[in-house]
Structure 1
Amino acid sequence: MIKVLLADDQALVRGAMAAMLGLETDIEVVAEVGTGDEVLPAVARLRPDVALLDVQMPGDGLSVAARLRDEHPTVRVIICTTFGRPGYLARATRAGAAGFVVKDTPPEQLVESIRRVHAGLRVIDPALAAESSVLGTSPLTERERQVLSAIAGGGTIADAARRLFLSQGTVRNHLSSAIGKTGTRTSAEAARLADDRGWL
């Protein structure tokens, strides 16, 4: 029996996945959680074999994947997201995820992905893998990514400086570099492009 943990902040999606997986004779959903913060305690308590993690839930699925890799290396992680962005794929791979699927994957394909990952294989959405190879990896440094993230929601340079404990001049320098690397004209455009590609 493959024990599965589901982590998704949308209760309807989580419930539908659990119901679908419950029809399989070799899969048991042992936990359903709505935030990343709930994942590690549930894993420690229930010892699932596979964790399906959403990217954009409170508590960030990619960060949780990295913590699972470090603290519970026997748990195999599949990132399951609405947002099939190439940058998310690269970040998921770095975080140790064994699989990456989008939520409109046919049910039978998701079930097979769980079985394959449990068997020690890797599963990557083929269309996303192709797009990722065309776009390449993120050109941004970690600090440039942080600065763009800080202004992505309409934050100012002063806001970013306060949040990241940097001077405003340093924030401007990082923004200028990020604008150059993304081939955009403004920091807002750079943040939007980086977000669209999953680099943030």
Structure 2
Amino acid sequence: MIRVLVAEDMRVLREAMVMLLNAEADIDVVEAVESGDEVLSQARVHWPDVVVLDVGLPGTNGLAVAAQLRKERPELKVLLLTALDKPGVVQEALRIGVHGFLPKGVSTKHVIEAIRRVHKGNRALNAELVGAAMEAGDNPLSRREQTILQRVTNGMTAPMIAREFHLAEGTVRNHITSAIQKLSAHNTIDAIRIAERMGWLDNHS
């Protein structure tokens, strides 16, 4: 029996997935949660074999949860479902070492097949998503540049960012300028637009 924990914030999708998975003779959904903050605690309680995880969970996002699960329980299989086809999201998932990565639009049949594959120790990766991520290349931004651009996206000014990270204001502006140059952007807004489209902002911060 494959013990599965489902994490999906949309109630209708979550309940439908649980019903369909439980209809399979070899799958038992041991818990279903709606936020990233619940996944780790419930995984520690129920000890699932596979966690089916929506990337866009409220609270702690799916990528951050997947990274923590891989750290705490390397033997646990993580299958990510995403509505985000951003190359940076796929690249981060592969870096974390998830066992499966599928678009949310796939059929339940494909999800069930993927659960069985990863449980056996195989990979279940969507070829189109992985191909697009490889074609896009690596994220050119440093972690600091990603974090600062994310702060600007959140409405923070350079002086505010400088105070948060105990940096000189000029240093913050230099990081922003560097990000603009690396992304071949026209200005800060353009840099943010490009980074968001590629999934290259630091959404963990």
Report the TM-score range of the alignment, normalised by the length of the smaller protein.
over 0.9
Match of 2:189 in 1: 188
- Provide the aligned C-alpha RMSD in A: 1.5
Give the equivalent residue in structure 2 for 1:50: 50
SS at match of 2:56: coil
How far does residue 166 in structure 1 lie from its aligned partner after superposition?
2.8
Would you say 1:126 and 2:127 are equivalent positions? yes
Out of 155-164 and 45-54, give the one that drifted further.
155-164
Deviations 1:38-70 (A, max 9, x none): 111111110100111122221111111111111
Q: Which amino acid aligns with 1:24?
A: E
Matched ranges for 1:25-104 at <5 A:
25-57=25-57, 58-104=59-105
Superposition TM-score, scaled by structure 1 size: 0.93
Query: What corresponds to 2:175 in structure 1?
Result: 174
The CA deviation at 1:8 is 2.1
Residue type matched to 1:22 in 2?
N
1:150/1:159 contact within 8 Å kept: no
Q: State the alpha-carbon separation in 2 of the partners of residues 82 and 131 from structure 1.
A: 15
Give, in whole Å, the separation in 1 of the partners of 2:61 and 2:164: 18
1:194 maps to a residue whose letter is: A
Distance 1:165 1:192 in 2: 26
Deviating more after overlay: 152-161 vs 14-23: 152-161
Structure 1 residues 153 and 123, CA, compared in 2 at 3 Å: closer, same or farther? same
Q: Distance in 1 between matches of 2:105 and 2:68?
A: 26
- Give, as a single letter, the amino acid of the residue that structure 1 aligns with 2:21: L
Identity of aligned residues (%): 41
Q: After alignment, is 27-36 or 6-15 more displaced?
A: 6-15
Counterpart mapping for 1:8-19 below 5 A? 8-19=8-19
AA paired with 2:157? T
Runs (5+) with no aligned partner, structure 1: none
Structure 2 runs not aligned, ≥5 long: none
Q: Which runs of 4+ in 1 moved over 3 A?
A: 162-165
